[in-house]
Structure 1
Amino acid sequence: MALTPQNNEAFLREVDDELRRDQLTSYWERYGRWTIAAIVVALAAFAGVLYWQHRQTEAAGVEGEQLQAAYDTLGAGQADKADTMLKPIAASPRPGYRALAQMTQADILLGKQQIKPAAAMFARIAADTSLAQPFRDLALIRQTSAEFDTLKPQVVIERLRPIAVPTNAYFGSAGEMLAIAYLDSGRKDLAGQLFSQLAQNDAVPDTIRQRAVQMAGTMGIDATPNDAAKVRIVSPASAAGAQSKEAPAQ
């Protein structure tokens, strides 16, 4: 007996369903154990990542406490003990803590007037590409500050020109040293322009801004912060007296 169109469609649907069940059964018999194994491995890897992150967080917390303890010890005037406490943190795989510890060690050396080893340590930090750029910029500024009196002006200019820009967080410290290097190299126009920018920038520390106003005044430039709209030229005789070179604070 021939099948009606409706019965034929139902028959084909039943055959298709049976074929799908056979295919699924065949797949599970062939690959089922491997599928389970892959799921177990994936779950184990995920659990491992979570555990590693937890351990990293715990270790970072411990190092943070150790670093604070070293700062407290240094603040109490026990520099040698603080330096000993900083040594394991200075070798940390965590870049931020490592950089802070190493820079503090370099500052301890500066406090002992050991300028060359301190500058060398700052230089290593500045060259460490695993560190964030702000750490490296600060280390380069500290290195240059420590060596400033022994460096040729052009060396200071080449080091600090990329950093001494208004958008950089360290514009004040880097800009002051760069301006003095411009003066020492005979580029009075560039020095005056930079001192004026320092004086007008609200983000620059007040002490640096005050020195910038004085230094600009010796070159006949009125760079007082109240006159931000423009820079007036005044006679050198009426400008505030200041030395032509003022070593930056370390």
Structure 2
Amino acid sequence: MSELFDEVDEEIRREQLKKLWDSYSLYIIALALLVIASVGGWRAYQYFDAQKAAEAGDSFNKAIELSEQGKHTEAEAAFAGLAAKAPYGYRVLSRFRAAGEAAARDPQAAAKMFDEIAADRSVGTELQALARIRAAGLLVDSATYADMKQRLEPDTGAGATFHNVARELLALSAFHANDSTATRQWLDMIALDAETPPSLRSRAEALQALLPPVAKS
């Protein structure tokens, strides 16, 4: 008797499934096709994205070769092209390299390009800081100490990524401005910082030796 009831239950389930299929088959098929299309679209996106990255990598390497061959104008143009159309990572790298190539012909123009990167929050705080340092390095011999201090003072704190370089650039700028007090301030910060690299510490000591002796009170 139980087998009979099982068969009846099975028949009822089949009838219910048939009714569901008849009512919703189009929706089920559409959903299945949507899932297949989504997966296929994602795979296609990954493929073409990888293709673009590979092409950008080849172009980036060719631009580096131009730079290494001393063809800075051609290299700058190549990096500028990548900065405009390459995938994000290569765009950012190419902006730095284009500015670096421009430095050979026009330090002021290159500093402006680095300033534009430093103002772009999308690149991240560390790359913004690096761009500020690069711009300041190009301007250290021409900008006023007040301008250099405005540019770099936020990067001189102990927690800043490039605080050692920022301090050295400010010491040099103050020295060029004949501001011995400010020069000593930055050199002392360098000397007292246990994280100062040996090479920078040596340069700071050499600059310290060029300062006039402190007047005794």
Equivalent pairs, count: 209
TM-score of the superposition, structure 1-length normalised? 0.68
Deviation at 1:96, TM superposition (A): 2.3
Cα separation, partners in 2 of 1:185 and 1:140, compared to 1, 3 Å: farther
User: Can you list the C-alpha shifts for 1:138-167, whole angstroms capped at 9, x where unaligned?
Assistant: 111111222234444344334323433455
Q: Is the 8 A contact 2:56 2:86 kept in 1?
A: no
Gaps of 5+ in 1: 1-6, 219-240, 245-250
1:242 aligns with 2:213: no
Helix, strand or coil: the match of 1:80? Answer: helix
In the alignment, the residues of structure 1 paired with residue 185 and residue 13 of structure 2 have an alpha-carbon distance, to the nearest angstrom, of 81
Give % identity: 25
Provide, for residues 70-117 of structure 1, a one-character-per-residue CA deviation record: whole Å limited to 9, x for no partner.
1112111122222232232121242321222222222222212x1221
- Which of 122, 125, 139 pairs up with 1:147? 139
**Structure-2 residue corresponding to 1:237:** none
Instruction: Give the number of the structure whose alpha-carbon radius of gyration is greater.
Output: 1
Length-normalised TM-score, structure 2: 0.77
Match of 1:79 in 2: 72
Report how far residue 118 of structure 1 moved: 1.1
Which residue pairs with 2:165 in the alignment?
173
Could you tell me which residue of structure 2 aligns to residue 160 of structure 1? 152
Q: Any idea what SS the aligned residue of 1:111 has?
A: coil
- Distance (whole Å) between structure 1 residues aligned to residue 162 and residue 4 of structure 2: 80
Distance in 2 between residues matched to 1:126 and 1:50, nearest whole Å? 35
Mapping for residues 203-222 of structure 1, pairs under 5 Å: 204=197, 206-215=198-207, 218=208
Cα deviation for residue 131 of structure 1 reads: 1.7
In structure 2, the partner of 1:68 is 61
Q: 2:101 aligns with which of 96, 102, 108?
A: 108
Alignment partner of 2:195 out of 187, 201, 221: 201
Say whether residues 1:191 and 2:186 are aligned partners: yes
Superposed CA offset, 1:109-130 (max 9, x none): 2212x12211111111112222
How far, CA to CA, are the matches of 1:110 and 1:137 in structure 2? Answer: 18
Return 54-63 or 12-21, whichever deviates more: 12-21
Residue number in structure 2 paired with 1:46: 39
Distance 1:163 1:50, change over 3 A: farther
One-letter code aligned to 2:191: S
Q: Is the 8 A contact 2:76 2:102 kept in 1?
A: no
Q: CA RMSD in A?
A: 3.2
Q: Deviations over 1:163-208 (max 9, x none)?
A: 334555433322312445677494567424421245x326x3x432
- Corresponding residue for 2:215? none
1:157, 1:182 within 8 Å by CA — same for their partners in 2? no
Q: Give the distance between the partners of 2:192 and 2:4, measured in 1 at CA.
A: 87
For the structure 1 residues 31 and 214, does the alpha-carbon distance in structure 2 shift closer, same or farther, using more than 3 Å as the test?
Answer: same
- Whichever structure has more helix as a proportion of its residues is 2
